[in-house]
Amino acid sequence: MTKKSPYLMKVLVTGASSGIGKETADLFAMNGFTVYAASRHPKETKNPSIIPLTMDVTDLDSVRNAVSKIDELGIIVHCAGFGISGSAEMTPLERAKAQMETNYFGVLNVNSIFLPLLRKNKRSLVLITSSVAGLIAIPYQSHYSSSKYAIEAYAQALRMEASQFGVRVALVEPGDTKTGFTKARTSDEPESSPYFEQCKSSVAHMAHDEQNGKTPDSVARVFLKLAYRKNPPVRCAVGLDYKALALLAKLLPARLANWIVKLIYIG
């Protein structure tokens, strides 16, 4: 017997064509949810519980067009995102802005259009993919980390504000995860940069760790678990190792935490 969620069993998943988003859409559909699987290039499916939806989270007109196809909604799972790499100093500003447009403003765009649907319910849920990089900044991932730090603050404020309407908000914080995210991450450090070689080495280390990391379904299972909780936590790291890391990030002095991260990625 399928477990019953306290929320309306209709869910929007962004970034649903690959990686964590696809695994999340598939898992929710397997568990009796109707899933609106949104992405820029949605894939057809034979699963009647999955409804492909064309949507670019950076384009408000695209988001408005998508919401016109949905009458009611209980859960939003934000999985759309990508990564850039480069030094804090030398990464071109247009690339830093592109990072924020998807990872941060993309969430805001979707919520600004879809939250009125959630507020129609006595109980609804917003789940947002953050990262352990939103707790501990990663060298040569400063702009990606910044996008996740921003989403952490936004989600916590939204949780407090929207609770009066029965809207719950929770952050899910994956660590190294084996997805197409690694291959899709852009390299934005100019070859003339004084940081170039160290950046290249550091990002290669990250890529190795990601490709030997957790599977995307491990993140999808956390989303599903939260969809069955009446009062989900503010944040949830994925896996015991990253839960421990998140705890250490809170407890350790900032100077010590920075030294440890630098040692791992730079040496």
Q: Tell me the per-residue pLDDT of 158-184, one tens digit each, with 9 for 90 and over.
A: 999 999 999 999 999 998 899 999 999
Q: What superfamily would CATH give domain 10-265?
A: NAD(P)-binding Rossmann-like Domain (3.40.50.720)
Instruction: Report residues of the chain scoring pLDDT below 70.
Output: 1-2
Burial class (CB in 10 A: 0-12, 13-18, 19+), 56: buried
Determine which one of 39, 85, 130, 142 is catalytic. 130
Determine which one of 140, 148, 202, 242 is catalytic. 148
Residue 2: its pLDDT value, please?
A: 62
Distance, first Cα to last Cα, the chain = 51
Determine which one of 5, 10, 17, 214 is catalytic. 17
Is 192 a residue of the active site? no
Residue 224: its pLDDT value, please?
A: 97
Q: Give the residue extent of every domain in the chain.
A: 10-265
Residue 135: its pLDDT value, please?
A: 92
Is 144 a residue of the active site? yes
What's this model's pTM, rounded to 2 decimal places?
0.95
Residue 74: its pLDDT value, please?
A: 98
Residue 1: its pLDDT value, please?
A: 44
